Amino acid sequence: MLIERKWKKWMYFYLPMAVFILFTLFPFYWMAVTAFRPDPELYRTWRQPNAAPLWTLEPTLEHVIGLMKTTAFPIWLWNTMLIAIVSTIISLVCGMFAGYALARLRFRGSEFLGTAIFITYLVPQTLLFIPLADIIRDMQLGNTPWALMLTYPTILIPFCTWLLMGYFKTIPKELEECARIDGATRFGAMVRIIFPVAIPGILSAGIFAFTLSWNEFIYALVFMASADQKTVPVGVVSELIRGDIFFWGQLMAGALLGSVPVALVYSFFVEYYVTGLTGSVKG
């Protein structure tokens, strides 16, 4: 009986799990290996003797160094960081207040407003960038970080608002009522009680907003022209594919370095992130 159960556990749990992990992590592994593989090894066919497609025999930093020296990668990294942080902060602040209002305040048309915000989230960026480009041009923001800092919130605010609205709804109303009896105004109760209690939700909204703006491609491609204004995803692709030549080593080094900050952010807040998306507050 027990043996059968063990066997079943392997069959239905560990095996699918292993396949899943392999499937998700292999691209990252491939990226990392390629980033540290010297060029001769990169272009060696698999049939040749001493070919090692799954690992590298002589790991090298030449691609990373080349990336730093021959391209504006450090500047891209800085641009991306700045834009992602600023647009995340803007979106979080707006999302917190809007989410709170939709979750707690009773006003005419609040449900309609909630739905309308959600619908804007559904409009694909591939359509939205056309009118936005027009606005950016009129406001003469093109090719400045502001073009992205102000357009990213158009996708991030609806998302943050909805996530936070859901989270605020799980916080018992009584907490706030009690704070108001204790001597806080409605605003004070929101800032002193509801927001601190909602930190898991706020953090997960923030992480999500940060990664979305970090990885964003279309707006960054359209609104940024000069090499020193680009973000990592656009810069890597536009500057390291020259004509039909792919600089695989540097491309992968750029991708690897570009994903490190996101991975760090996630690993620091992963517990909050999970409770933010699934958990609720108990008094």
Instruction: Return the axis-axis angle of helices 248-278 and 199-215, rounded to nearest 10°.
Output: 160
Stretch near another protein under the rule CB under 8 A, chosen from 42-50, 58-66, 130-138, 174-182: 174-182
Nearest-approach distance from CB 217 to another protein, in angstroms: 38
Distance of CA 87 to CAs 18, 70, 119, 149, Å?
Answer: 37, 29, 20, 5
**Distance in Å from the first CA to the final CA of the chain:** 43
* 89 sits near another protein (criterion: CB under 8 A): no
* 31 sits near another protein (criterion: CB under 8 A): no
Residue 194 and residue 144 in contact, taking contact as beta carbons nearer than 8 Å: no
246, β-bridge pairs: 241
Please state the φ and ψ torsions of residue 48, each to the nearest 5 degrees: -65, 150
> Could you say which of 35, 103, 156, 179 contacts another protein (CB under 8 A)?
179
Nearest-approach distance from CB 106 to another protein, in angstroms: 9
Stretch near another protein under the rule CB under 8 A, chosen from 8-16, 68-76, 237-245, 275-283: 275-283
> Could you say which of 94, 184, 222, 227 contacts another protein (CB under 8 A)?
184
Nearest-approach distance from CB 105 to another protein, in angstroms: 14
* 203 sits near another protein (criterion: CB under 8 A): no
* 134 sits near another protein (criterion: CB under 8 A): no
* 27 sits near another protein (criterion: CB under 8 A): no
The C-alpha atoms of residue 146 and residue 162 are separated, in whole angstroms, by 25
The amino acid present at 232, given as its one-letter code, is: V
Stretch near another protein under the rule CB under 8 A, chosen from 25-33, 62-70, 168-176, 245-253: 168-176
Residue 36 and residue 63 in contact, taking contact as beta carbons nearer than 8 Å: yes
The C-alpha atoms of residue 32 and residue 165 are separated, in whole angstroms, by 39
CB nearer to another protein: pick between 9 and 186: 186
* 111 sits near another protein (criterion: CB under 8 A): no
- 35: nearest Cα among 5, 79, 65, 14: 65
Residue with tokens 């449900």: 111
CB nearer to another protein: pick between 242 and 282: 282
* 237 sits near another protein (criterion: CB under 8 A): no
Cβ atoms < 10 Å from Cβ of 229: 22
Residue 46 burial (C-beta neighbours within 10 Å; 0-12, 13-18, 19+): exposed
> Could you say which of 177, 228, 263, 270 contacts another protein (CB under 8 A)?
177
* 196 sits near another protein (criterion: CB under 8 A): yes
The C-alpha atoms of residue 238 and residue 232 are separated, in whole angstroms, by 10
Stretch near another protein under the rule CB under 8 A, chosen from 2-10, 125-133, 172-180, 252-260: 172-180
> Could you say which of 128, 175, 218, 237 contacts another protein (CB under 8 A)?
175
Stretch near another protein under the rule CB under 8 A, chosen from 4-12, 13-21, 26-34, 188-196: 188-196
* 207 sits near another protein (criterion: CB under 8 A): no
Residue with tokens 């960081």: 81
Binding site for another protein (CB under 8 A): 172, 174-175, 177-185, 188, 193, 196-197, 199, 281-283
